[in-house]
Amino acid sequence: MTLSDKPVDEVVVRPDNDAGWRLEVPDAARPDGVFVTIVAHKQDALRLAADMYPTAHVRVIDDPSGA
């Protein structure tokens, strides 16, 4: 959950630069305005995003550069 506990409109799932997959959720209370969770596998990241934020749009970025 985000620190603010406000509804989340969008979650971004992308490869992490070091290893695994990142779930990025906007949260103004966090450094850089993003709450980040890292998991080992893409499918686990997608499942976690759906479980934690069932009403949010999940955007998948397969390119680690964000393009």
Q: What is the pLDDT of residue 64?
A: 59
pLDDT digits (tens, 9 = 90+) for 26-57: 888 888 889 899 999 999 999 999 999 988 99
Q: How far from chain centre, in Å, is Cα 53?
A: 10
pTM of the entire predicted model: 0.81
Which pLDDT band, with edges at 50, 70 and 90, does 66 fall under?
low
Per domain, the residue ranges of the chain are 39-67
In terms of pLDDT, which residue wins out, 44 or 66?
Answer: 44
Give me the residues paired with residue 28 across strands: none
In terms of pLDDT, which residue wins out, 19 or 66?
Answer: 19
Q: Mean pLDDT for the chain?
A: 86
